[in-house]
């Protein structure tokens, strides 16, 4: 998109940022539908909880692969057409999941869902292109608020639908709602040519160069790897914890915990404005503090429903503050390579999620809730160390 085109888009498409948030929420929700369903899925296919975690791992790995293969195309081809096609593909993958005849067929469908749901990260880098000067963080926060509402409503709807109609209906209904966005995207979005088109092969080759050349990108990616690995450990095992003899609660309750993520959606907007005003490192420090406090609450008071609720609220707020802080600073690195920068960042981010899902499922199998919380806090401790090193290495004021 040329800079000269932006005033036209601002006048004609004033509601585009909220719409981008809605579309991002619809696509990213597809990788979280399975979390409240894991207990029911393991019962359907007669597999253990540790094997059930493979569905979450497969989705995260598929998401990372999709980010690698598809997101760089945002710097290569016209984005409206690309986004609409990927929405159609994720809808078909959801149908395959809903009709899966075996556990491993569901795992395979989960990989494809993750890959095509990566369209989210073609949408998010568009936000700074539409921002007024000095308001990149606010624009990203607006889109991320919609994205987060999609995640939390996805979890809630997943649990409620599964309780009433079974887990297969969750994927089939999600296919319908996701597919409905294909005509909406053609109608609502303008044509979005890449800022400076490059060849696909060159775009892929440049990913490693960007990681090597941009220390801020390396730092942000490492912190996100550790934080998301910690965060996803909680959500992967929540259904098992609530279904344990201590609580005896079902998938509907597990899904309803997604409503608590509404706090995170509010924090996303506030974090974006805070990053614009005070700098991303200050906002990130506060976010890490919230994440640590959240896990301490979950570990110490998680056996009580009030403590579990409080821990979820604080944990979600910290996670969203971390994400907005990191994305604001990495998108500021280059206006012509945002899709590729986001590719590097999000691949590492979701590899952390896959690791967190896999190892926390093992921790649950061996040490139950204490193992999950210990794993989460351990990853956060490493994130604090990396963040502290980055603070010292960049003692001079950083331009967000």
Confirm whether 77 is domain-assigned: yes
Confirm whether 122 is domain-assigned: yes
Confirm whether 148 is domain-assigned: yes
The candidate with the shortest Cα–Cα distance to 220, out of 124, 144, 123, 327, is 327
Dihedral, CA of residue 48, residue 49, residue 54 and residue 56, to nearest 10: 150
Q: How far apart are the first and last CA of the chain?
A: 22
Q: Judge whether 59 and 75 are in contact, CB under 8 Å.
A: no
Length of the chain as a residue count:
400
Sign of CA dihedral 268, 55, 169, 171: positive
Sign of CA dihedral 189, 190, 196, 202: positive
- pLDDT tens per residue across all 400 residues of the chain: 444 444 444 444 457 888 888 898 899 899 888 878 888 888 889 888 777 778 888 887 898 899 899 999 988 899 999 999 999 999 999 999 999 999 999 999 999 999 999 998 898 888 877 766 666 777 777 787 778 778 777 777 887 888 888 899 999 999 999 999 999 998 888 888 887 778 999 999 999 999 999 999 999 999 999 999 999 888 878 878 887 777 877 666 766 676 776 666 666 667 667 777 777 888 899 999 999 999 999 999 988 889 888 998 889 889 888 988 898 889 888 878 888 998 999 889 878 888 888 888 788 888 888 888 998 999 999 999 998 887 666 654 444 4
> Distances in Å between the alpha carbon of 301 and those of 95, 249, 306, 309, 377?
39, 17, 8, 10, 15
Domain count, the chain: 1
List, in order, residues 6 or more apart from 29 with CB less than 8 Å away: 150, 151, 153, 154, 155, 174
pLDDT at position 224 is 94
Task: Return d(Cα 330, Cα 334) in angstroms, integer.
Answer: 8
Q: Which pair of structure tokens corresponds to residue 355?
A: 């690791």
pLDDT at position 256 is 67
Confirm whether 399 is domain-assigned: no
pLDDT at position 37 is 85
99-131 CB burial, b ≥16 within 10 A, e <16:
ebeebeebbbbbbbbbbbbbbbbbbbbbbbbbb
**Dihedrals φ, ψ of 337, to 5°?**
-135, 30
Q: Domain limits at 386?
A: 3-393
Confirm whether 260 is domain-assigned: yes
Confirm whether 216 is domain-assigned: yes
pLDDT at position 213 is 92
Does residue 76 sit in helix, strand or coil?
coil
Confirm whether 82 is domain-assigned: yes
Q: What is the DSSP letter of 257?
A: G
- Placement of tokens 């550790």 in the chain: 226
pLDDT at position 8 is 46
**Dihedrals φ, ψ of 129, to 5°?**
-65, -25
The candidate with the shortest Cα–Cα distance to 220, out of 363, 400, 8, is 400
Task: Return d(Cα 271, Cα 141) in angstroms, integer.
Answer: 7
List, in order, residues 6 or more apart from 400 with CB less than 8 Å away: 136, 137, 275, 276, 279, 280, 328, 329, 332
Confirm whether 29 is domain-assigned: yes
Tell me the CATH number at 284: 1.20.1250.20
Q: What is the DSSP letter of 30?
A: G
pLDDT at position 396 is 46
Burial grade of 185 (CB within 10 A; 0-12, 13-18, 19 or more): buried
């Amino acid at each position: 998109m040329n800079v000269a085109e932006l005033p036209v888009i601002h006048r004609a498409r004033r509601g585009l940022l909220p719409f981008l948030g809605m579309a991002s929420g619809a696509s990213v929700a597809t990788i979280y539908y399975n979390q409240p369903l894991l207990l029911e899925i393991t019962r359907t296919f007669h597999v253990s909880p540790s094997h059930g975690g493979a569905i979450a791992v497969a989705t995260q790995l598929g998401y990372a692969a999709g980010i690698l293969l598809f997101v760089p195309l945002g710097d290569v081809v016209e984005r409206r057409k690309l986004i609409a096609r990927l929405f159609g593909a994720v809808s078909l993958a959801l149908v395959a999941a809903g009709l899966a005849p075996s556990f491993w067929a569901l795992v395979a469908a989960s990989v494809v869902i993750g890959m095509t749901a990566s369209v989210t990260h073609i949408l998010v880098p568009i936000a700074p292109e539409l921002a007024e000067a000095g308001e990149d963080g606010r624009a990203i926060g607006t889109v991320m608020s919609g994205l987060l509402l999609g995640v939390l409503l996805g979890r809630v709807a997943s649990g409620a639908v599964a309780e009433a109609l079974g887990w297969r209906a969750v994927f089939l209904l999600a296919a319908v709602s996701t597919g409905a966005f294909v005509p909406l995207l053609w109608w609502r979005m303008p044509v979005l040519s890449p800022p400076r088109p490059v060849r696909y092969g060159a775009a892929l080759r440049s990913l490693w160069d960007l990681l090597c050349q941009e220390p801020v990108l390396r730092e942000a990616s490492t912190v996100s790897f550790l934080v998301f690995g910690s965060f996803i450990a909680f959500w992967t095992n929540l259904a098992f914890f609530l279904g344990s003899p201590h609580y005896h609660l079902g998938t509907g309750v597990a899904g309803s915990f997604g409503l608590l993520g509404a706090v995170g959606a509010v924090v996303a907007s506030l974090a974006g404005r805070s990053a614009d005003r005070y700098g991303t490192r200050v906002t990130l420090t506060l976010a890490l503090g919230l994440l640590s406090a959240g896990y301490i609450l979950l570990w110490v008071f998680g056996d009580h429903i009030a403590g579990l609720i409080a821990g979820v609220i604080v944990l979600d707020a910290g996670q969203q503050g971390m994400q907005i802080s990191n994305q604001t600073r990495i998108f500021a690195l280059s206006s012509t390579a945002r899709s590729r920068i986001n590719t590097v960042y999000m691949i590492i981010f979701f590899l952390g999620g896959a690791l967190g899902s896999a190892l926390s499922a093992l921790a649950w199998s061996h040490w139950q809730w204490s193992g999950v919380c210990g794993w989460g806090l351990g990853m956060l401790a490493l994130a604090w160390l990396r963040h502290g090193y980055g603070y010292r290495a960049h003692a001079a004021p950083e331009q967000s």
